[in-house]
């Protein structure tokens, strides 16, 4: 894909009064590049932890590279601020490709089943916490293994962190284009919108990626709460029980668990998620 030839082709559209058509064709071209690279990355064998997190990261990096490299081309031949239309189309393509990646991740890691099992566990009556007493029967637990959840939660935290970084880049890129469009008073209209009708935050906030990420973090909280609770339960069960003792030796373990869970939640870069976790604690 020779960018020099592409530039020669697309710079002709504004000269014949077909600016919108030229930008749409240019958008289709760069979206095709994004889709091809994303599908190629996902086709690789999933080996090692955070495979899907890195696949999503590559998608974001490819989009950022396209915007950074192609923005001067669009600005030169179509005018200041016109890259915003391409950014919108790139975000739509990101919505499609990120959904494929995240849906595959959910299927591979059986996230929906894990969340469903945890919700059923949360709704069931619980026995009092404490160390195992002699003669006390053990309760059969069919809920997800916390060790499996730990791996899934780490990858979800990475996905969330990279997604929020991507949000900031896209909002900054869109804001820059909108400001340039507003300053270009002679031609600040593109398609059915003018500069005043564009909102850099809304481009991300209303995207399919943002909606799926919000659902993803809701599942993250369900699993993180369960992981936190089960880790504390285990710490209390292995605590040595002594008749008449009012001091527990598991206090240090509980604070360590709390610290690790909060570190992971903070790493998501999701304020709502952190607020919910702090309220839970």
Residue-wise DSSP of 38-72: HHHHHTS---STTHHHHHHHHHHHHHHHHHHHHHH
On whether residue 273 sits in a domain, the answer given is no
On whether residue 43 sits in a domain, the answer given is yes
* CB atoms near residue 89 (< 10 Å): 18
- pLDDT score, position 192: 45
- pLDDT score, position 104: 94
How buried is residue 128: exposed, middle or buried, by Cβ count under 10 Å (0-12/13-18/19+)? exposed
On whether residue 236 sits in a domain, the answer given is no
Domain range spanning residue 53?
A: 3-125+142-219
| Of 92, 88, 96, the residue nearest 192 (C-alpha) | 88
On whether residue 135 sits in a domain, the answer given is no
Tell me if 186 sits within 8 A of 195, measured CB to CB: no
On whether residue 74 sits in a domain, the answer given is yes
The model's pTM: 0.83
- pLDDT score, position 159: 96
On whether residue 243 sits in a domain, the answer given is no
Q: Which residues of the chain have pLDDT under 50?
A: 189, 191-192
On whether residue 137 sits in a domain, the answer given is no
- pLDDT score, position 76: 81
DSSP SS3 for 189: strand
Which DSSP letter does residue 15 get? G
- pLDDT score, position 11: 75
- pLDDT score, position 21: 83
19-42 vs 3-10: helix axis angle to the nearest 10?
150
- pLDDT score, position 191: 45
On whether residue 96 sits in a domain, the answer given is yes
What domain count does the chain have?
1
């Amino acid at each position: 894909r020779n960018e020099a030839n592409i530039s020669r082709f697309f710079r002709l559209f504004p000269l014949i009064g077909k600016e919108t058509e030229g930008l749409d064709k240019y958008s289709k071209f760069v979206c095709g590049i994004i889709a091809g690279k994303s599908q190629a990355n996902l086709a690789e064998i999933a080996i090692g932890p955070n495979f899907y997190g890195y696949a999503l990261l590559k998608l974001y990096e490819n989009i950022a590279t396209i915007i950074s490299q192609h923005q001067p081309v669009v600005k030169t031949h179509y005018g200041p601020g016109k890259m915003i239309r391409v950014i919108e189309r790139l975000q739509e393509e990101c919505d499609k490709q990120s959904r494929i990646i995240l849906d595959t991740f959910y299927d591979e890691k059986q996230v929906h089943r894990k969340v469903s099992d945890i919700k059923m566990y949360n709704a069931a009556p619980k026995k009092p916490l404490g160390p195992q007493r002699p003669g006390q029967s053990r309760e059969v637990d069919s809920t997800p293994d916390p060790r499996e959840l730990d791996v899934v939660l780490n990858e979800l935290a990475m996905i969330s962190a990279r997604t929020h970084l991507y949000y900031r880049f896209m909002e900054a890129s869109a804001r820059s284009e909108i400001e340039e469009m507003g300053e270009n008073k002679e031609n600040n209209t593109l398609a059915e919108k003018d500069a005043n009708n564009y909102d850099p935050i809304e481009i991300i906030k209303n995207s399919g990626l943002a909606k799926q990420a919000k659902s993803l973090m809701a599942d993250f909280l369900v699993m993180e709460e369960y992981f936190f609770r089960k880790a504390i339960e285990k710490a209390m069960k292995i605590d040595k029980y002594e008749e008449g003792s009012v001091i527990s030796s598991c206090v240090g373990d509980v604070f360590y668990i709390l610290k690790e869970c909060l570190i992971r939640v903070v790493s998501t870069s999701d304020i709502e998620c952190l607020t919910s976790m702090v309220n839970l604690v």
